[in-house]
Structure formats: structure tokens, C-alpha cells
Structure 1
Amino acid sequence: MRDWLIGLAAAVGCLLASWAVLVLLARRLPPGILRDLAAFIPDCLTTVRRLRTDPRVPRRAKIAVVVAGLWVASPIDLIPEFLPVIGPLDDIVVVALALRYAGRQVPREVLLAAWPGEPRLLNRLLGPPHGQGA
């Protein structure tokens, strides 16, 4: 039993160390699309947390963004995270769909206020505001 616990502790330690290395490397990325992609999921989680408590957000939109946040936080994925490039793809698609759904029900100013990242990335994801053509 003791060997099993030591192995588990070593695996968790390696996982946390690899996450720390990835965070440090992501912070060193030059400005551009790679840096935006590295920050996308953390920005989405922050947005979900902020929208969940905002009284201006309708219940349906809150449910959509909370489900997206749970999807991202869940260790169960359609595409395993360890696959390069496509690993986080299912998370990105689910979050993008939830934010687009919320974007139709929530004023854009509320979404932009909740988004900690580059506003141009969220604006591109949401598409043109209602009433404007493509």
C-alpha cells in the first residue's frame, strides 16, 4: 500500500511540475496567436467565474457557461489532452459555443468586462454585434 501511495504522489508531483513548466513557457511566448491560444482556456475559466455571479446574465446563459467551465475543468475529454495541438480542441470548441450562446443573450459590454484577455479575441469569437452585418 505504501508503494502505491508513493507512486501516486510522484505522479501528481510530475503532473504539477509539468503544468508549472508549461505556464512559465507560455508566459515567455511573444505576443501573437500562440500567446493568445495559450491564454484562451484560463481566460475562459475566469470569464465563466465572473459571468456566473453577474446579475445581468440570464439563467440560461449562466447554465451554458457553467457547463462549459465544468467541461474544461473535467479530467474526462473527448480528445485526450496529451495529444499535441488537438488535445485541448474539444475544450476550446465547447467554450466557444457556450460563449457564443451567452453572447446572444448577454450585452456585449458585460461579456467584454468579464473577459480578462485581449478584447479582439473575444470579439472575433462572438462575431459581429446584433444588428450589424458580417
Structure 2
Amino acid sequence: MTGSLWWDLLIGIGAALLLTWLALIVVLAIARPRGGLLREALRILPDVLRLVHRLAGDKTLPRGVRVRLGLLLAYLAFPIDLIPDFIPVLGYADDAIIVTAVLRGVVRRAGLDAVRAHWPGTEDGFAALTRLTGLDRPRA
């Protein structure tokens, strides 16, 4: 009887993890950049990673912003992804989508000046970043 209970528990935990993973995939699909923005996000990802690292180290930014950026860097450094990187295009798309989603909130809170001061890439890349994060749209 005890062995059956353990198997039921393991199956339940496995099913819960699978449902959680599927829910995260759905959230990623909803939060993904629309149109050609995902391609742009993948193109500027190296510059964005340097930006995130620089912003996370900026002591003048609010602690909440730095904590979010630190958690984002930890996620990106963690070897297990929602979608494995060996899957062509999609493997790196989940990283780009998560970075974009986090940056939308962080960049709006940190402000355009902080982002501009730390941006390591080109002007075209910065323009793509502002489109991705919504900074190019006027605030309501």
C-alpha cells in the first residue's frame, strides 16, 4: 500500500510540473514581441545582456530594479531553459521573450536616461530596444 502511495505522489508531482511548464509556455507565447520584434530581440540580445549587467550594477537605480535584473541574469545563466537551446530558433526565443518582458517593466521604472547611459550597442540597436520595451510609445 505504501509503494502505491509513493507512485501516486510522484505521478502527481510530475503532472503538476508538466502543467506548470505548459502554463509558462503559454505565458511566453502571450508576452512575446509581435511582428518582427522577436527577430530584432534576438539580434540585439548580446547588447541587451551587457545592458542588463550594467544596469544591475548601477547603485543609483532602485533596489527593486536591480533585484529583477539580478534574477534575470541568474535565469539566463541557469543551464536549464523552458525550451532547450538546441531547438533551432525557439531555443533562444524563450530567452529573448523573457528578457523583453522583464526589460519592459525595468526600463520603464529606471527611465530612458539610465538605459541610454548604459546602452553598449548601436543607435539602431537602441531604437530596437525602445520598440521592444514600449519606450517609443507616449505614456497614457
Amino acid at match of 2:89: V
Match of 2:22 in 1: none
Larger Rg: 2
Is 2:104–2:132's contact at 8 Å kept on the other side of the alignment?
A: yes
Q: CA deviation at 1:86?
A: 0.6
**CA–CA distance in 2 between the matches of 1:63 and 1:91?**
18
Match of 1:127 in 2: 134
Is 2:112–2:135's contact at 8 Å kept on the other side of the alignment?
A: no
Q: Which string of whole-angstrom CA distances, capped at 9 and with x for unpartnered residues, describes residues 20-72 of structure 1?
A: xxxxxxxxxxxxx8995554332122112111121221111111111111212
RMSD, aligned CA? 2.5
Query: What is the TM-score of this pair, normalised by structure 1?
Result: 0.64
Name stretches of at least 5 consecutive residues in structure 2 with no aligned partner: 1-36
**CA–CA distance in 2 between the matches of 1:65 and 1:86?**
23
More helix by share: 2
Alignment of 1:56-71 (within 5 A): 56-71=60-75
Is 1:61–1:105's contact at 8 Å kept on the other side of the alignment?
A: yes
Q: Name the count of aligned residue pairs.
A: 101
1:112 to 1:65, Cα distance in 2 relative to 1, 3 A: same
Percent identical residues: 37
**CA–CA distance in 1 between the matches of 2:103 and 2:39?**
20
Match of 1:11 in 2: none
Match of 2:102 in 1: 98
Of structures 1 and 2, the one with the larger relative CO (CA 8 A, separation 6+) is 2
Name stretches of at least 5 consecutive residues in structure 1 with no aligned partner: 1-32
**CA–CA distance in 2 between the matches of 1:35 and 1:90?**
12
Runs of 4+ in 1 over 3 A off after TM superposition: 33-39
Match of 2:118 in 1: 114
Name the SS of the counterpart of 2:46 in structure 1.
Answer: helix
